């Protein structure tokens, strides 16, 4: 694959998730997202935490579109 869009569900090697960021050199896949504890939220910019996998352009051929 070479064309991606934000929110697209894909699989890269053993990781499945959705495309979170698209740049010229890499994309990121969000593979896990969870809410922060309520006592932390008031001090944070966002109320959730994400785990993202970085995929460089040379590895895009290993990324496959999947269903959720």
Each residue's pLDDT tens digit, 39-67: 776 777 778 889 999 999 999 999 999 98
Is residue 32 domain-resident? yes
**pLDDT number for residue 17:** 97
Is residue 3 domain-resident? no
48 sits in which H/E element:
strand 48-56
**pLDDT number for residue 35:** 84
If DSSP codes are grouped into helix, strand and coil, which group holds residue 2? coil
**pLDDT number for residue 65:** 96
pTM: 0.84
Residue 20 Cα distances to 10, 16, 39, 42, angstroms: 11, 12, 26, 24
pLDDT in tens, 29-40: 999 998 877 777
Total domains, the chain: 1
Write the Ramachandran bin of 13: left for phi over 0, alpha for psi from -120 to 50, otherwise beta. left
Domain of 26 in residue numbering reads as 9-65
Q: Distance (Å, rounded) from C-alpha 34 to C-alpha 57?
A: 27
């Amino acid at each position: 694959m070479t064309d991606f869009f934000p929110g697209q569900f894909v699989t890269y090697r053993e990781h499945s998730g959705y495309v979170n960021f698209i740049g010229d050199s890499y994309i990121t896949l969000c593979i896990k997202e969870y809410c922060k504890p309520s006592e932390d939220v008031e001090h944070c910019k966002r109320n959730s935490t994400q785990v993202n996998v970085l995929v460089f352009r040379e590895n895009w051929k290993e990324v496959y579109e999947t269903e959720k």
